[in-house]
Amino acid sequence: MEPLKVLVVDDEPGIRSGIERVLRGFSVSFPFLDTDFTYELIPVETGEEAVGIIDNQKIDIILLDNKLPGIQGIEVLEYINKNQIDVEVMMITSYANLDLAVRATNQGAFNFVPKPFTPQELRTAIEAITKHLYLKGIGKNMNKTEKQNRFQFLSVLSHELKSPINAVEGYLNIMNDKQMGEDLNSYMTMVERSLIRIKGMRNLIMDMLDITRLESGIKRREIRPIDLAEIAKISKDTVGPLAIQKNIKIHLDLPDELFFKADYNEMEIVINNLLSNAVKYNKENGEVFLTVSKVNSGIKIVVEDTGIGIDKNDIPKLFGEFERIKNEKTREISGTGLGLNIVKKIIDMYRGSVHVESEPDQGTKFTVTINS
Ligand SMILES: Nc1ncnc2c1ncn2[C@@H]1O[C@H](COP(=O)(O)OP(=O)(O)O)[C@@H](O)[C@H]1O
Ligand SMILES: [Mg+2]
């Protein structure tokens, strides 16, 4: 990624070189991005020079001192506004001048660093402004439907996070007020329930990251021959602990090796999700059959279970975002409703297909086919 261009406007050479030292080699990364943001600094001494530069080239961030020899920082800000120049401004003020802070914020300055600032304060401020630029960039590149989709996705997501947060907060308040007395044992159920809710939130975040990576297309995909038989075995081990709790047997039907050109991580997500569902939505002492085979045109993955099954009417909903089938049988089972959505998104990337057959109370069979 191109470094972000940072114009540093300050008449004190010490400040300019200080900023240079702090930001040289500094980078900001986000968990869902493979590349880091870095910075290219352009130091100038006056507001006049700054105006000359922003008129002629795209600058991403301006670190703007207010007290300058010629025109003042706030006037540079006014100029930026009047000419609708697309840049984020961070003011540097020699003393915490509240008046100026208000004026600058009204003029659209993003934030402030008070002089003198520590390297950490500067880095934190730069990190905040980078995040803002990044999010703004996403918004700009989206059309109206995409914006609506994102809005809907985020609304459901926040709704999904609210209830576990409320629950954990409630329990913590009870403990904080010692409502059940001094004996720690009285609170153990609450601690256990809190841990379960937190685990649920963690799963939600992990699924979210998978979706974001897939949809952004930023994640580096590595399409190379991978052994699906190996992934199937690893996946069985991953799901093992869950299966043991319900005494469920997982049967594998695999060739010794089955090489297929795909991204390892993506295939692992697909098989893991189908297999963990087959265990989660199964009955005590149930069975799961995972078959991976070569078919003339590509590969076929079949996951079949002897579980609770799915009503015909619910099948079309399965692959939607946050879709979970709510009934007596699934009430106690936790999930995010994102797993099959992720599976579908991945399969679509390979122009493959997923097919579901199910009989309530008898079991379910998911069949994935991908052509090579
Ligand atoms: N093998 C299965 N048997 C019965 N129901 C299933 C099975 N797999 C998925 N489902 C239903 O589909 C819903 C969506 O699955 P998924 O997207 O993986 O979300 P999650 O498992 O997090 O709830 C589940 O909540 C469940 O109701
Ligand atoms: Mg699932």
Pairwise CA distance, residues 23 & 25, whole Å:
6
Looking at residue 134, which CATH number applies to its domain? 3.40.50.2300
Which position has the higher pLDDT, 96 or 204?
204
Same domain assignment for residues 148 and 14: no
**For residue 11, is pLDDT > 80?**
yes
125-159 pLDDT per residue, tens:
999 999 888 877 776 777 777 777 777 778 778 87
Beta bridge partners of 5: 40
Q: How far is the C-alpha of 153 from the C-alpha of 131, rounded, in Å?
A: 20
- Ligand 1 pocket residue status of 273, Cβ below 6 Å: yes
Q: Are residues 210 and 164 in the same domain?
A: yes
pLDDT of residue 301: 98
277 alpha carbon to ligand 2 midpoint, in Å? 5
- Which ligand lies nearest the alpha carbon of 341? 1
User: In terms of domains, do 345 and 262 share one?
Assistant: yes
Cβ atoms 251, 288 nearer than 8 A: yes
365 and 245 assigned to the same domain: yes
3 state DSSP class of 77: helix
DSSP annotation string for 85-113: ---EEEEEESS--HHHHHHHHHTT--EEE
pTM beyond 0.95, yes or no: no
Residue 331: phi and psi, rounded to 5, are: -55, -40
pLDDT digits (tens, 9 = 90+) for 42-92: 999 999 999 999 999 999 999 999 889 999 999 999 999 999 999 999 998
- In percent, how much of the chain has pLDDT > 70? 96
Token couple for 183:
């004996």
pLDDT of residue 188: 95
- Say yes or no: 57 and 31 in one domain: yes
Measured from the alpha carbon of residue 279, the closest ligand is 1
Are residue 367 and residue 284 in the same domain, yes or no? yes
Mutation pick for ligand 1 pocket among 269, 324, 328 (CB with most ligand atoms within 8 Å): 324
Task: Out of 192, 216, 240, pick the residue that ends a domain.
Answer: 216
CATH number, position 153 = 1.10.287.130
Those residues whose C-beta lies under 8 Å from the C-beta of residue 273, and which sit 6 or more positions away, are 339, 340, 342, 343
Dump pLDDT digits (tens) for 223-267: 999 999 999 999 999 999 889 999 999 999 999 999 999 999 899
The pair of structure tokens assigned to 60 is 């991403």
pLDDT band at 96 (very low <50, low <70, confident <90, very high): low
Burial tier of 19 (Cβ tally within 10 Å: 0-12, 13-18, 19+): buried
CATH number at residue 316: 3.30.565.10
Q: Separation of 154 CA from ligand 2 center, angstroms?
A: 20
Q: Within this chain, do residues 251 and 208 fall inside the same structural domain, yes or no? A: no
Distance of CA 353 from the midpoint of ligand 2 (Å): 18
Residue having the nearest C-alpha atom to atom 25 of ligand 1: 324
* Enclosing domain of residue 161: 144-216
Clarify whether residues 152 and 56 are in a common domain.
no
What backbone phi and psi angles, to 5 degrees, belong to 99? -55, -50
Residue 341 C-alpha to ligand 2 middle, in angstroms? 9
**168 C-alpha vs ligand 1 centroid, how far in Å?**
25
User: Which of 194, 216, 238 is the C-terminal boundary of a domain?
Assistant: 216
Q: Are both 319 and 244 inside the same structural domain?
A: yes
Query: Which H or E run includes 121?
Result: helix 119-140
Looking at the structure, do residues 203 and 97 belong to the same domain, yes or no?
A: no
For residues 41 and 334, which has the higher predicted lDDT (pLDDT)?
41
What's the number of domains the chain is made of? Answer: 3
Report which bound ligand comes closest to the CA of 322: 1
From the alpha carbon of 278, which atom of ligand 1 is closest?
Answer: 1
Burial state string for 303-326 with b = 16 or more CB within 10 A and e = fewer than 16 = bbbbbbbbeeebeeebbebbbbbe
Residues 106 and 163 grouped into a single domain: no
Say yes or no: 270 and 356 in one domain.
yes
Give the separation between CA 180 and CA 276, rounded to whole angstroms. 38
The domain boundary, picked from 140, 172, 187, lies at: 140
